[in-house]
């Protein structure tokens, strides 16, 4: 039965496996593609496999970084589900760079350009094998937008799945400095932001080397992207709001306390649901540009403001819009400012608040935030999504933040926000940036800073000055 369902969905891949319906002398005929099939057979394909749709599973993978080190396992789970439903899975493993590991070194110069490289690699491996549809995995910062960009570029039938956030680290307390993490650890929640802040705290003499080492060891407890609303989780939230990922998947954790590097059952279920959704999209011939539109990009932008997302979302959503063929006059950096002036900050999550993505997940994840925004008239409910339904249809049975009650302070309703509209990401212009500059206020109001400019030619010289105690309160750093 699965094989029959798969054969009904096969189309583009006939061009590489050969189309038995065509005469021998026609392009992509079965006879012409004999050598191609011979190569597939050498790789282990069986006769029945040539009747199946080819499904690309794109995984930016490295065993050296927590954001993506589960992706071979996730890819293999997706492969099994694709083949169970009658498809033939085609793995596309791409490079990936970690922002968290490379920042502060010259290697970080490879980070942003890795977005384009990952996108190009995915396109190459998909188009180069005439695959019929695609599932892409996103993890570390640049790999989340990179997983969507080639789908928009080529208007593919596809869906993206976020690998998931890590849980926050747990400070083990005052004892030791040993790398103690896990279910028994108690104390304040840690994340990469706290690790970075600890470097400065050590430089100022606020903490000692033992405490710095304790935070280093406990800050990131296992696999998954940064546990806070930094770029990876911001973009995962945006991709879900965009309609390119299944509802709720952006906040499902990549780990548990008991098994910090294993695949949780919820994430396995996400894999199965993602494959099923992809087959439905293929059957309905719903492609990416039917989902990514000016309106869906505005939805993604709205969610970024509501959850207190990263300024890097500006960079990445503009890139996705470009790949989707949406002209700048319809969607540009000024739209971020316009939307930000009407969308309040609702999520009390790190780096501006005490909670993390796992806490947001406990509240119901991004769908709960979107329902609140939809009820307030701040979302386009008619946008199509990878479920085959509209945003409004997806959210029909989802509770809003307002319905969660007063006993939680992770999410705030539109009528009583954490911070009013216009106090998160603002787009500015001035003598230092005549075209545009982006500032992140994270809910701070009436911000004004006037002080002496401390100018540095590069990051290294600025860091040396900070660690030497040369930067004083009120100084303005220009690097």
Per residue in 23-34, pLDDT (tens digit) is 999 999 999 999
Q: Which residue has the higher pLDDT, 463 or 157?
A: 157
Averaged pLDDT of the chain: 93
Residue 429 exposed, middle or buried by CB count within 10 Å (0-12, 13-18, 19+) = exposed
Q: How do residues 239-259 score in pLDDT, each as one tens digit?
A: 999 999 999 999 999 999 999
Residue 184 CB partners (closer than 8 Å, separation 6+) = none
State the Cα angle at 99 between 410 and 245, rounded to 5°: 55
**Tokens linked to 188:** 């304040």
Specify whether the CB–CB gap between 261 and 223 falls below 8 A. Answer: yes
- Whether 474 shows a pLDDT value over 50: the answer reads yes
- Other Cβ atoms within 10 Å of 350 Cβ, number: 25
Angstrom distance (rounded) from CA 46 to CA 93: 23
Is 185's pLDDT higher than 60?
no
Q: What is the pLDDT of residue 6?
A: 65
Helix 265-284 and helix 2-9, axial crossing angle in degrees, nearest 10: 50
Q: Give per-residue pLDDT as tens, 295-343.
A: 999 999 999 999 999 999 999 999 999 999 999 999 999 999 999 999 9
DSSP H or E segment with residue 275: helix 265-284
Distance CA 229, CA 292 (A): 23
The predicted structure's pLDDT at residue 175: 41
Q: Is 186 helix (H, G, I), strand (E, B) or coil?
A: coil
Residue pLDDT, tens place only, 160-180: 999 999 999 999 874 433 343
Given a cut of 80, whether residue 22 has pLDDT beyond it is: yes
Cα dist from 455 to 93, 234, 430, whole Å: 42, 30, 17
The answer to whether 443 touches 346, Cβ cutoff 8 Å, is no
Give 262: exposed, middle or buried? Use CB within 10 Å, 0-12, 13-18, 19+.
middle
CA distance 220 to 267: 19
**What DSSP element (H or E) covers 118?**
helix 111-127
Is-contact 289 324, C-beta < 8 A? yes
**Which residues does 362 contact at the CB level (< 8 Å), separation at least 6?**
410
With a pLDDT cut of 90, the percent of the chain lying above it is 87
Q: How far apart are CA 198 and CA 209, in angstroms?
A: 10
pLDDT computed for residue 111 by the predictor: 93
- Assess contact for 238 and 300: CB atoms under 8 A: yes
Strands 88-94 and 54-60: parallel
Q: What span, in angstroms and rounded, lies between the C-alpha atoms of 365 and 252?
A: 8
Residue 443 pLDDT > 90, yes or no?
Answer: no
- State the average pLDDT over residues 189-216: 94
Burial category of 211 from C-beta neighbours within 10 Å (exposed 0-12, middle 13-18, buried 19 and up): middle
Interatomic CA distance for residues 159 and 118, integer angstroms: 16
User: What band does 444 get if pLDDT is binned at 50, 70 and 90?
Assistant: confident
Q: What is the mean pLDDT of residues 438-461?
A: 90
User: Is the predicted pLDDT of residue 200 greater than 60, yes or no?
Assistant: yes
Question: Which among 176-180, 200-204, 358-362 has the top mean pLDDT?
Answer: 358-362
The per-residue b/e assignment along 1-10, b for 16 or more CB within 10 angstroms, e otherwise, is: eeeeebeebb
Confidence check: pLDDT of 214 > 90: yes
pLDDT of 34: 98
Q: Is the pLDDT higher at 144 or at 183?
A: 144
β-pairing verdict for 54-60 and 133-138:
parallel
Tell me the DSSP string of 306-324.
HHT--THHHHHHHHHHHHT
User: Max CA-CA distance within the chain?
Assistant: 79
**Residue 188: band (very low, low, confident or very high) from pLDDT cuts 50, 70, 90:** confident
Partnered with residue 439 across adjacent β-strands are 426
pLDDT at 432: 82
Selection from 100, 4, 11, 9 nearest residue 48 by Cα: 4
Peptide linkage before 351 cis (omega within 30 of 0):
yes
Which range has the worst mean pLDDT, 44-53, 176-185, 373-382? Answer: 176-185
What separation in angstroms does the CA of 389 have from each of 381, 385, 396?
A: 10, 6, 11
C-alpha closest to that of 390 among 295, 318, 321:
295
- 397-435 pLDDT tens trace: 999 998 998 899 999 999 999 999 999 999 999 888 899
Of 182, 181, 129, 127, the closest CA to residue 155 belongs to 127
433 Cβ neighbours under 8 A, 6+ residues apart: none
The C-alpha atoms of residue 129 and residue 28 are separated, in whole angstroms, by 13
């Amino acid at each position: 039965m699965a094989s029959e369902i798969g054969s009904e969905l096969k189309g583009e891949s006939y061009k590489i496996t050969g189309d038995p319906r065509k005469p021998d002398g026609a392009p992509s005929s079965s006879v012409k593609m004999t050598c191609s099939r011979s190569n597939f057979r050498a790789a282990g394909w069986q006769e029945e496999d040539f009747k199946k749709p080819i499904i690309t599973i794109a995984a930016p993978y490295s065993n050296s970084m927590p954001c993506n080190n589960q992706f071979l396992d996730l890819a293999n789970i997706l492969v099994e589900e694709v083949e169970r439903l009658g498809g033939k899975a085609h793995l596309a493993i791409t490079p990936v760079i970690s922002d968290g590991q490379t920042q502060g070194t010259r290697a970080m110069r490879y980070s942003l350009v890795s977005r384009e490289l990952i996108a190009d690699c995915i396109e190459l491996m998909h188009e180069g094998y005439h695959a019929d549809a695609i599932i892409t995995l996103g993890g570390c910062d640049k790999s989340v937008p990179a997983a969507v960009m080639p789908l928009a570029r080529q208007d593919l039938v596809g869906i993206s799945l976020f690998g998931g956030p890590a849980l926050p680290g747990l400070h083990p307390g005052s004892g030791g400095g040993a790398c103690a993490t896990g279910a028994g650890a108690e104390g304040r929640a840690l994340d990469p932001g706290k690790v970075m802040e600890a470097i400065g705290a050590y430089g100022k003499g606020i903490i000692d080397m033992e405490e710095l080492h304790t935070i280093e060891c406990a800050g990131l407890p296992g696999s998954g992207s940064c546990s806070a609303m930094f770029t990876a989780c911001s973009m995962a939230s945006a991709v879900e709001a965009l309609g390119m990922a299944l509802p709720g998947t952006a906040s499902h954790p990549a780990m548990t306390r008991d098994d910090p590097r294993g695949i949780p059952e919820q994430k396995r279920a996400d894999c199965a649901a993602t494959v099923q959704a992809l087959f439905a999209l293929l059957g309905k011939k719903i492609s990416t540009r039917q989902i990514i539109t000016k309106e869906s990009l505005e939805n993604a932008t709205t969610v970024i403001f509501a959850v207190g997302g990263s300024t890097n979302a500006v960079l990445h959503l503009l890139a996705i819009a470009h790949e989707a063929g949406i002209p700048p006059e319809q969607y540009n950096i000024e739209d971020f400012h316009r939307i930000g002036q009407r969308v309040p900050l609702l999520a009390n999550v790190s780096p501006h608040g005490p909670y993390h993505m796992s806490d947001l997940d406990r509240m119901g994840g991004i769908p709960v935030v979107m329902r609140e925004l939809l009820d307030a008239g701040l979302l386009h409910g008619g946008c199509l999504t990878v479920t085959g339904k509209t945003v409004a249809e997806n959210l029909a049975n989802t509770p809003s933040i307002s319905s969660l009650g007063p006993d939680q302070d992770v999410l705030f309703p539109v009528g009583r926000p954490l911070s009013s509209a216009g106090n998160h990401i603002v787009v500015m212009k001035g003598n230092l940036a005549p075209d545009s500059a982006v500032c992140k206020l994270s809910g701070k109001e009436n911000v004004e800073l006037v002080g002496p400019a401390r100018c540095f030619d590069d990051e290294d010289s600025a860091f040396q000055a900070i660690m030497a105690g040369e930067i004083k309160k009120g100084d303005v750093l220009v690097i």
